[in-house]
Chains A and B, each alone.
Chain A
Amino acid sequence: DAKTTQPPSMDCAEGRAANLPCNHSTISGNEYVYWYRQIHSQGPQYIIHGLKNNETNEMASLIITEDRKSSTLILPHATLRDTAVYYCIVSSGAGSYQLTFGKGTKLSVIP
């Protein structure tokens, strides 16, 4: 079972920042937070991951709270192509059942 909770859906206006929240209150010290997205009929796509510090790459930024119990994925300028289901996952990389996906957040970017 997934260890994260996310809102089932969100809307965002095109060109605005999309802020997708995730709660992972039971995260343990060695677990990373990963974000993936799945555009309709495609395979999931890796976006970003982090442990404690905030992270940024060419796709998004990841803000992790100091207690690590929640995080926010930020898409700085959402486009219509960002419409997808976004999954927040915690993983320790220890060889157990990894990357168990929950229900995710359906993000709809509106023109």
Chain B
Amino acid sequence: DTAVSQTPKYLVTQMGNDKSIKCEQNLGHDTMYWYKQDSKKFLKIMFSYNNKELIINETVPNRFSPKSPDKAHLNLHINSLELGDSAVYFCASSPEWGSEAFFGQGTRLTVV
């Protein structure tokens, strides 16, 4: 069983569209994260979410919004997609904030 799963694995879309990436973890963890890895391979945290408390990296545009229907899911919704949003997005979870994290396989988003 996959511990942290993301869908879709690949996403190609046009500028201006709205898209969502889904993430589910079956580890029973309390904290989930979204990371962005750009073309230079830098991996930067976007959001961390713990018991309905959201911490946002202030550099993330407000076009990006995480949505958590329950503790096992943290979806990423992106409005008005831009070319610069093209990247690989990773979801992760950990037993508690800042402890060892388990990552999904990533979603490669390409905006054309």
Quote the shortest CB–CB distance from B3 to chain A (angstroms). 10
Residue in B42, B100, B102 whose CB lies within 8 Å of A101: B42
The answer to the question of A29 belonging to the interface, with a C-beta cut-off of 8 Å to chain B, is: no
Evaluate contact between A44 and B103: CB separation under 8 angstroms. Answer: yes
* Contact string against A for B residues 40-74, beta-carbon threshold 8 Å, 1 for contact and 0 otherwise: 01111100101001010100000000000000000
Evaluate contact between B98 and A85: CB separation under 8 angstroms. Answer: no
**Residue numbers in A under 8 Å from B41 (CB-CB):** 85, 103
**Residue numbers in B under 8 Å from A96 (CB-CB):** 55, 98
Evaluate contact between A97 and B55: CB separation under 8 angstroms. Answer: yes
Total number of B residues with any Cβ neighbor in A under 8 Å: 26
Within 8 A of A (CB), among B98-112: 98-106
Evaluate contact between A98 and B106: CB separation under 8 angstroms. Answer: no
**Residue numbers in B under 8 Å from A46 (CB-CB):** 100-102
Evaluate contact between B44 and A93: CB separation under 8 angstroms. Answer: no
Quote the shortest CB–CB distance from A43 to chain B (angstroms). 3
Which residues of A pack against B, CB within 8 Å?
32, 34, 36, 38, 41-46, 49, 85, 87, 91-101, 103
